[in-house]
């Protein structure tokens, strides 16, 4: 059932929130063992909250735009008292004493978190296979990965366990799994959604965003979680944008740039789907031109210096002293080493090493410093493109969902699946992935619409056009 | 210092700021609470928490910068990365290439000027207690960490390598402490650790390039600072004169042993991997805020010293007494006393010796101070009594009248004093004969006995007067 229908029915007193939550819990029970989507299900908490929502409705109150809507939370989002592991052994058993701002806002809108979804360890991965709690399977094709790192959140929606889920996107971690699972996923403008309570991977790149089946559901969810938060110094000063009011704006007269660098090297079906999306936008009245932004090719290498550098610092606190895993040893340094050795998986260790190296004396200028310059160059290149067009179009991922295990042994191949999504994180801009077309084996594909900072209203209206175009096609 | 050598000293002073809350969260910034009671997700560095800059801390940092004649400029925060259990995030948020204050100076009372390279904002760490072993981390059986101090705002003030003697190092630290207290940014308490001093010391032959320096830590008082710098310079000179080489290292001052010893050598020193703190935006102090802080700054010690010196005129005052009065914030007391006609020398002496380094003015107010000195000058209180009453007032406050009455210090009538003097003379006929014969220095002998008999209530001058009438 659609989140907006659930909310409407719950607010009207025609559906009980308890029933909606029970449906979700039942769907989870049916397929979670097979798919490994939720790493923690908060049955009691969810049902208690649902009962509260029903009481409020009975008292004549309006619990909000997501009243009674079961939601999934990526396991790097803090919710008071609910285990939060980030897919890592090192945080096994840790229960945060506070909730993320985005989670608080969901609760404030009447939504009901039903549990925490699986993810690549500390969001480092593109397939949800680096999780210490085992890989998640793609509900559309269980021998395939759901993408990552928000693969659990994508799978939860794709398996109809919940209508919406929150993910986080550092280099494509919402958009790529959305594409691979046939969903809508939004990477908001950096600072639009507060990061307070999102366990950091790379602080200058991380953004929380929604995954849903439809543009309208994703837009509604984003509206709820967006807006200034004084607890995040990088939070934008403005309140949340009106997205629902712009879903039907269309794209007539809009200038769209099809970006060569955001399709090159992709599977032929992906290229074809992106061109078909361009046609759909043209048909709806947009003027589509082809553009090249060669600087985007530098994104991947800059990202794999900046993100690991920040991660090496962000993940230092997992030292066994205060919370999470502790492996005892003779002295404190040995304890730190033993804890981190046992607690982190191979990919996390690889990136901590990479980041530590990139920031080290003698290497900083050549690696991290250089990557920062590339980031500036890329932001300037985007700015030039946005002088010519309002919106950019490209593929979300170069392939359809790949087989479980196919890229585990080859980090470079894995990293390349984010090549089209990374530039938006480096620029801090907004992007949305919408399902469009099918891959060689019939699996869903996604296309990406990109816009400058705070362009979410335009992006959701263009995405709605593609959504409608897909249904007609 | 041995002939032919020059020492080069630079000091790094950390001061905690007197804010109500910590630098990046709302937890109380207060000393002495139960361990780990003033903590929250932010200052414990819990996963997902984010820092939000305390604006009051920025204002106090600007106040320090202005008082030290620095340029206040747009600045950024960096992460200083290293593993240590008392650092909750295993990095410290500090300032690196763009500090909020840079390029100032501090003039000392001896006429020298020490440049200030920078005065930047950063967060404090928690506090570790190591049980067992030598009390240091590496061989402790257990370590306990109190995170109440984690995230307390600090300003680190880095001097240029301009200091040339242990005495000047002490003067600089004392004057800087007075400046910090005068800005209202710090209480300057070294014993509570709210002001901490590290010293960089090297030696060279005059005119030669800078020698290899050692950094000395654990300097908990001005006296330790002066002793440690002197010891360290001597150690380096001895090493060099024996044909050895100074190794760049961090050294620990042991106040009991009176020596420095190796803490860690440069080769082991960490690479802090500084990079811009992505969770904080650029810190740009507004012109309006800087102007407001500047307008609110009271007179600094140098200005107050000049004002007091002008008032003293010809009165004798050594630099040390004057420094004690100015740095102790006692000049208002001295000025008020002089304006009431009290002898400047007496006012300086009572302020410096009774209220100076030992305890400060405490709860004593200016009118009470002036009243006590007025009575002492008028012979209605003895010197001993005046000192006692000043001590009482500093501890407990109140009026001079009440404090004097509480001690029962009523001035002796001349009849009563005369009776005591007569008794003392009667008990010491031999000394009295010699005194009458012209041995004037025996006056002290009689004063001493009269004081003893009156429990210090007699006025020395009045005793001499009584002796003279009987001579
Ligand atoms: Zn706190």
The pLDDT value recorded for residue B192 is 85
Q: Which residues from A are below 8 Å from B274, CB to CB?
A: 359
The structure tokens listed for A183 are 């969903």
pLDDT band at B6 (very low <50, low <70, confident <90, very high): very high
Pairing of strands B195-204, B214-219: antiparallel
Pairing of strands A164-169, A70-74: parallel
Q: Which residues from A are below 8 Å from B41, CB to CB?
A: 96-98
Per-residue pLDDT tens for A185-215? 999 999 999 999 999 999 999 999 999 999 9
Instruction: Please give the C-alpha separations between residue A409 and each of A150, A164, A412, B313, in angstroms, as whole numbers.
Output: 20, 32, 9, 86
Is the pLDDT at B134 greater than 80? The verdict is no
Mark yes or no for CB contact A316/B90 under 8 Å. Answer: yes
Q: Percent of chain A at pLDDT above 90?
A: 97
Q: Which residues from A are below 8 Å from B137, CB to CB?
A: 332
pLDDT band at A405 (very low <50, low <70, confident <90, very high): very high
Per-residue pLDDT tens for B379-424? 888 888 999 999 999 999 999 999 998 988 877 788 888 889 999 9
Q: pTM for the whole thing? A: 0.91
Task: Tell me how far apart the alpha carbons of residues B389 and B400 are, in angstroms, rounded to a whole number.
Answer: 8
The structure tokens listed for B188 are 């300057």
Closest-CA residue to A433 (of A157, A233, A26): A157
- Kindly provide the ipTM of the predicted complex, given to two decimals: 0.96
Per-residue pLDDT tens for B163-214? 999 999 999 999 999 999 999 999 999 988 899 999 999 999 999 999 999 9
How close A323 gets to chain B, by Cα (Å)?
A: 9
Task: Tell me how far apart the alpha carbons of residues A426 and A207 are, in angstroms, rounded to a whole number.
Answer: 11
Per-residue pLDDT tens for A291-333? 999 999 999 999 999 999 999 999 999 999 999 999 999 888 9
What is the rounded average pLDDT of the residues A9-13? 97
How distant is the alpha carbon of residue A151 from its chain centre? 9
The pLDDT value recorded for residue B359 is 63
Closest-CA residue to A221 (of A162, A151, A172): A162
Of A197, A204, A312, the CB nearest to B48: A197
What is the rounded average pLDDT of the residues B38-60? 98
Helix locations, B298-436, DSSP H:
301-312, 319-327, 331-339, 344-355, 366-377, 383-396, 400-407, 414-427, 429-436
Helix (H) or strand (E) holding B142: strand B142-146
Per-residue pLDDT tens for B285-337? 999 999 999 999 999 999 999 888 888 876 666 778 888 899 888 999 999 99
The helices-and-strands tally (H runs, E runs) of chain A is 15, 11
How close B295 gets to chain A, by Cα (Å)?
A: 29
The structure tokens listed for A74 are 């990526």
For residue A369, the 8-state DSSP code is: I
CATH of B414-470 given 1.10.10, 3.40.720, 3.40.50, 1.10.287: 1.10.10
**Chain B touched by A304 (CB under 8 Å):** no
Q: Which residues from A are below 8 Å from B44, CB to CB?
A: 322
Winning range, highest mean pLDDT, from A340-349, B202-211, B215-224 = A340-349
Mark yes or no for CB contact B47/A78 under 8 Å. Answer: yes
How distant is the alpha carbon of residue A247 from its chain centre? 21
Closest-CA residue to A433 (of A284, A270, A283): A270
Q: Which of B40, B81, B278, B282 to mutate to test the interface with A (most CBs of A within 10 A)?
A: B278
Q: Which residues from A are below 8 Å from B281, CB to CB?
A: 233-234
Is the pLDDT at B226 greater than 60? The verdict is yes
**Chain B touched by A60 (CB under 8 Å):** no
Mark yes or no for CB contact A313/B79 under 8 Å. Answer: yes
The pLDDT value recorded for residue B269 is 60
What is the rounded average pLDDT of the residues A225-248? 97
Q: Percent of chain B at pLDDT above 90?
A: 71
Three-class SS of residue A86? coil
How close A313 gets to chain B, by Cα (Å)?
A: 7
Per-residue pLDDT tens for A88-130? 999 999 999 999 999 999 999 999 999 999 999 999 999 999 9
CATH class of A3-237: alpha beta
For residue A199, the 8-state DSSP code is: P
Quote the mean pLDDT of chain B: 92
Is the pLDDT at B53 greater than 60? The verdict is yes
Mark yes or no for CB contact B47/A356 under 8 Å. Answer: no
Specify the range with the lowest mean pLDDT, choosing from A63-72, A138-147, B60-69, B456-465.
Answer: B456-465
Closest-CA residue to B400 (of B433, B431, B377): B377
Helix (H) or strand (E) holding A358: helix A346-359
As a whole number of angstroms, the longest Cα–Cα distance in chain B is 91
The pLDDT value recorded for residue B140 is 73
The pLDDT value recorded for residue B316 is 61
What is the rounded average pLDDT of the residues A166-170? 98
Of B52, B90, B280, the CB nearest to A319: B90
Q: Which residues of A are catalytic?
A: 74, 149, 173
Is the pLDDT at A335 greater than 70? The verdict is yes
Burial (CB count <10 Å: 0-12, 13-18, 19+), residue B15: buried
Helix (H) or strand (E) holding B291: helix B287-296
Distance A391 CA to ligand 1 centre (A): 42
Distance A326 CA to ligand 1 centre (A): 24
Is the pLDDT at B270 greater than 90? The verdict is no
The structure tokens listed for A316 are 């230092």
Phi first, then psi: give them for residue A185, nearest 5 degrees. Answer: -140, 135
Is the pLDDT at B358 greater than 60? The verdict is no
The pLDDT value recorded for residue B96 is 96
Half-sphere exposure (Cβ direction) of B35: Cα atoms closer than 13 Å = 8
Is the pLDDT at A284 greater than 90? The verdict is yes
The pLDDT value recorded for residue B266 is 67
- Could you count the other beta carbons within 10 Å of the beta carbon of residue B359? 14
pLDDT band at B267 (very low <50, low <70, confident <90, very high): low
The pLDDT value recorded for residue B315 is 64
- Spatial neighbors of A462 by CB under 8 A, at least 6 apart, are A251, A254, A256, A281, A286, A391, A449
Of A233, A234, A331, the CB nearest to B138: A331
Beta bridge partners of B128: B145
């Amino acid at each position: 059932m659609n989140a907006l229908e659930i909310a409407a029915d719950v607010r009207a007193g025609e559906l009980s929130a308890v029933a909606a939550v029970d449906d979700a819990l039942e769907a989870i029970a049916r397929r979670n063992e097979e798919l490994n989507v939720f790493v923690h299900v908060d049955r009691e908490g969810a049902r208690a909250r649902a009962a509260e929502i029903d009481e409020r409705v009975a008292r004549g109150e309006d619990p909000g735009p997501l009243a009674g809507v079961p939601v999934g939370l990526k396991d790097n989002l803090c919710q008071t008292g609910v285990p939060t592991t980030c897919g890592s052994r090192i945080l096994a058993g840790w229960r945060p004493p506070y909730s993320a701002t985005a989670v608080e806002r969901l609760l404030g809108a009447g939504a009901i978190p039903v549990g925490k979804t699986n993810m690549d360890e500390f969001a480092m991965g593109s397939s949800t296979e680096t999780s210490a709690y085992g890989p998640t399977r793609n509900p559309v094709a269980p021998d395939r990965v759901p993408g990552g790192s928000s693969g659990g959140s994508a799978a939860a929606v794709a398996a109809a366990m919940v209508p919406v889920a929150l993910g986080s996107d550092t280099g494509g971690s919402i958009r790529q799994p959305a594409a691979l699972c046939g969903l809508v996923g939004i990477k908001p403008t950096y600072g639009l959604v507060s990061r307070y309570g999102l366990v950091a991977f790379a602080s200058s790149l991380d953004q929380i965003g929604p995954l849903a089946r439809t543009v309208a559901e994703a837009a509604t969810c984003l509206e709820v979680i967006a807006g200034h938060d004084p607890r995040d110094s990088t939070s934008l000063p403005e309140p949340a944008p009106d997205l629902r009011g712009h879903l039907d704006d269309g794209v007539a007269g809009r200038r769209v740039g099809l970006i060569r660098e955001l399709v090159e090297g992709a599977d032929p079906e992906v290229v074809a789907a992106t061109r078909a999306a361009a046609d759909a936008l043209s048909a709806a009245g947009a003027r589509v031109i082809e553009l090249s932004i060669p600087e985007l090719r530098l994104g991947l290498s800059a990202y794999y210096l900046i993100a690991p550098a920040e991660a090496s610092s962000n993940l230092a606190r997992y030292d066994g002293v205060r919370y999470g895993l502790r492996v005892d040893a003779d002295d404190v340094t040995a304890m730190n080493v033993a804890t981190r050795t046992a607690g982190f998986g191979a990919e996390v260790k690889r990136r901590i090493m990479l980041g530590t190296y990139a920031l080290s004396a003698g290497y900083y200028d050549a690696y991290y410093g250089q990557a920062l310059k590339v980031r500036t160059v890329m932001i300037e290149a985007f700015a030039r493109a946005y002088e010519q067009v309002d919106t950019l179009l490209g593929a979300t991922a170069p392939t359809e969902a790949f087989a479980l295990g196919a890229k585990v042994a080859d980090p470079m191949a894995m990293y390349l699946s984010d090549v089209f999504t990374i530039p938006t994180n480096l620029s801090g801009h907004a992007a949305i992935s919408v399902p469009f077309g099918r891959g060689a084996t019939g699996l869903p594909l996604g296309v990406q619409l990109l816009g400058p900072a705070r362009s979410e209203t335009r992006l959701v209206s263009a995405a709605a056009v593609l959504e409608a175009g897909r249904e007609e096609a | 210092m041995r002939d032919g050598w020059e020492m080069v000293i630079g000091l790094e002073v950390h001061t905690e700021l007197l804010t109500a809350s910590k630098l990046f969260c709302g937890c109380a910034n207060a000393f002495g609470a139960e361990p780990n009671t003033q903590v929250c997700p932010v200052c414990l560095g819990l996963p997902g928490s984010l820092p939000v800059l305390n604006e009051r801390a920025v204002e106090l940092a600007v106040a320090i910068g202005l008082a030290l004649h620095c340029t206040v400029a747009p600045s950024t925060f960096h992460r200083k990365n290293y593993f240590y259990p008392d650092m909750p995030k295993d990095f410290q948020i500090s300032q690196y290439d763009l500090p909020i204050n840079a390029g100032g100076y501090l003039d000392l009372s001896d006429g020298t000027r020490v440049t200030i390279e920078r005065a930047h904002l950063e967060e404090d760490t928690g506090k570790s207690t190591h049980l067992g072993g030598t009390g240091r981390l590496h061989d402790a059986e257990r370590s306990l960490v109190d995170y109440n101090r984690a995230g307390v705002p600090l300003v680190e003030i880095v001097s240029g390598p301009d200091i040339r003697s242990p005495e000047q190092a002490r003067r600089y630290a004392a004057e800087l402490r007075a400046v910090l207290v005068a800005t209202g940014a710090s209480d300057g308490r070294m014993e509570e650790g709210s002001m901490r001093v590290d010293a960089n010391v090297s030696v060279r032959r005059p005119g030669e390039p800078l020698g290899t320096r050692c950094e000395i830590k654990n300097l908990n008082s001005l006296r330790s600072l002066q002793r440690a710098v002197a010891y360290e310079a001597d150690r380096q000179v001895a090493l060099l004169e024996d044909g050895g080489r100074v190794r760049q290292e961090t050294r620990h001052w042991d106040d009991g042993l009176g020596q420095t010893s190796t803490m860690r050598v440069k080769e082991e020193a960490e690479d802090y991997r500084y990079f811009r703190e992505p969770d904080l935006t650029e810190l740009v102090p507004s012109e309006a805020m800087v102007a407001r802080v500047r307008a609110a700054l009271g007179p600094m010690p140098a200005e107050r010293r000049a004002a007091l010196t002008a008032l003293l005129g010809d009165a004798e005052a050594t630099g040390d007494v004057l420094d004690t009065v100015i740095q102790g914030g006692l000049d208002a007391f001295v000025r008020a006393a002089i304006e009431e006609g009290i002898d400047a020398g007496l006012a300086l002496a009572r302020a410096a010796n009774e209220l100076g380094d030992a305890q400060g003015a405490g709860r004593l107010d200016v009118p009470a101070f002036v009243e006590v000195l007025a009575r002492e000058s008028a012979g209605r209180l003895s010197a001993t009594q005046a000192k006692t009453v000043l001590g009482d007032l500093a501890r407990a406050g109140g009026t001079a009248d009440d404090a004097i009455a509480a001690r029962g210090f009523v001035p002796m009538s001349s009849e009563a004093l005369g009776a005591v003097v007569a008794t003392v003379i009667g008990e010491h006929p031999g000394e009295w004969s010699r005194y009458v014969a012209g041995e004037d220095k025996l006056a002290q002998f009689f004063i001493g006995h009269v004081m003893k008999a009156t429990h210090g209530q007699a006025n020395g001058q009045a005793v001499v007067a009584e002796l003279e009438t009987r001579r």
